Structure 1
Amino acid sequence: MATTEIYRYLCVSQQQVALDPEGYLVTLDDWTPDVARAIAAEEHLTLSEEHWEIINVLRDFYQRFEQAPAMRPLVKAVGKALGDEKGRSIHLMRLFPGSPAKLAARIAGLPKPTHCL
């Protein structure tokens, strides 16, 4: 059984949530909406309804396929779930600056997407 290195803990609602060196949850079951807000706050993001739509699409994708999507599958999944206007890279980059697939997955409490540097 592989072990994940714990880099630090995030204190959320008086609980310690372990993060790996890249800021992803060590234990996916530790995720709650409050954990998502705390991770987003570290990135200077306040989660809006639009963010939550994407987070919910990501969590649904993970439940179905047991992996977090890289950018191209994320765009496709968001487009299918929320419509073409929201299923665009530019929309995702506006909500999750930098690397939308990685940042959104981290906030959604999912592992790092495969094929993401």
Structure 2
Amino acid sequence: MPTATYADTAVPVDDEGFFTDPARWTEPMAEQIATEAGIEALTDRHWTVIRFMREQYAAKGTGPTVRVLGKTSGVSVKELYQLFPKGPAKTAARIAGIPKPRGCI
């Protein structure tokens, strides 16, 4: 299984770079993952989405889709695409240290 190193810690990831063990994720890792995803700095709005993704994963075993994010996170779909231009659900899940949400390609 591949590994990635974030915040000086090696963590197991899948072939697409998603964490296979979300418990290994820490907030300092998110900044580095975001930079790799082309996001210069994480704002409070980014953190709203990232924390929501982790809460949903903990409750349901998968991250929410873009549609669910837009309806229940307090961040509109339009703003989600501004915050995470390369695909909100997939990019936010990777930054949040959870596996890729079901339905993401």
TM, length-normalised to structure 2: 0.89
Q: Secondary structure of the equivalent of 2:30?
A: helix
- Return 5+ residue gaps in structure 1 as ranges: none
CA distance in 1, matches of 2:101, 2:21: 16
| Equivalence for 1:18 | 12
CA distance in 2, matches of 1:48, 1:63: 23
1:59 aligns with 2:54: yes
What amino acid does structure 2 have at the position aligned with 1:30? Answer: R
CA distance in 2, matches of 1:111, 1:27: 8
For 1:94-109, list aligned pairs within 5 A: 94-109=82-97
RMSD (Å) for aligned C-alpha atoms? 1.4
| Equivalence for 2:26 | 32
Q: Secondary structure of the equivalent of 2:92?
A: helix
Kindly indicate whether the alpha-carbon contact (under 8 Å) linking 1:36 and 1:107 is maintained by their aligned counterparts in 2: yes
CA distance in 1, matches of 2:51, 2:104: 20
CA distance in 2, matches of 1:104, 1:24: 11
| Equivalence for 1:110 | 98
Q: Secondary structure of the equivalent of 2:34?
A: helix
Q: Which of these two proteins has the greater Rg computed from alpha carbons?
A: 1
| Equivalence for 1:93 | 81
CA distance in 2, matches of 1:11, 1:58: 19
Q: Secondary structure of the equivalent of 2:17?
A: coil
